[in-house]
């Protein structure tokens, strides 16, 4: 997985924009050393999406409607940010809570009810496939 992530990271991006959110940065800060340093270095020039109050409301709704379990609030925050800011893709290796085909319809239905955008939920490997 790590190799696929590196390959994806170095591919040209369709609109040239990569964004992240504070929850992802916090996860990286909590990751074991030296992995966190390498990842933090990679994202040093990446745009950080503002974590506005509406994100907490969306996260609460996701948890309430079982889009994510209580213990996956960080995952809910990733999805909320990508949906709120109309990101084309949410790229993740989290196939349990985010890039999970069994959840796509539930997520899409909830985002539609909330008037939110539905980003494509993919792994880096899936984008390698598209890029080749």
pLDDT of residue 46: 79
Say how far apart CA 23 and CA 3 lie, in whole Å.
23
Domain for residue 7, yes or no?
Answer: no
Residue 71 domain flag: yes
pLDDT of residue 52: 97
130 inside domain: no
Range of the domain at 32: 17-123
How would you write the pLDDT of the chain (132 residues) with one tens digit per residue? 566 666 655 666 666 677 888 888 888 788 777 666 777 777 777 788 999 999 999 999 999 999 999 999 999 999 999 999 999 999 888 889 999 999 999 999 999 999 999 999 998 777 775 544
**CATH number for 118:** 3.40.50
pTM: 0.82
- As a whole number of angstroms, the distance between CA 130 and CA 43 comes to 23
- Give the count of domains, the chain: 1
| In a domain? residue 96 | yes
Residue 128 located in a structural domain: no
Task: Tell which residue, 20, 95, 105, 123, has the closest CA to residue 67.
Answer: 105
Tokens 């929850």 — which residue?
23
Distances, alpha carbon 51 to alpha carbons 25, 27, 82, in Å: 12, 15, 11
Q: What is the largest CA-CA distance in the chain?
A: 42
CA 114 from centroid of its chain's CA atoms: 18
Place of tokens 């800011």: 85
């Amino acid at each position: 997985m790590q190799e696929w992530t590196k390959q994806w990271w170095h591919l040209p991006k369709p609109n040239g924009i990569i964004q992240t959110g504070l929850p992802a940065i916090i996860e990286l800060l909590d990751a074991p050393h030296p992995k966190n340093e390498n990842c933090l270095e990679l994202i040093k020039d990446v745009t950080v999406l503002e974590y506005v109050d509406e994100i907490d409301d969306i996260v609460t709704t996701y948890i309430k409607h079982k889009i994510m379990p209580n213990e996956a609030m960080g995952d809910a925050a990733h999805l909320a940010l990508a949906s709120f800011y109309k990101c084309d893709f949410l790229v993740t290796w989290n196939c349990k809570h985010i890039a999970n085909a069994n959840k796509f319809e539930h997520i899409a239905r909830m985002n539609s009810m909330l008037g939110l955008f539905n980003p494509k939920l993919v792994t880096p490997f899936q984008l390698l496939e598209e890029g080749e």
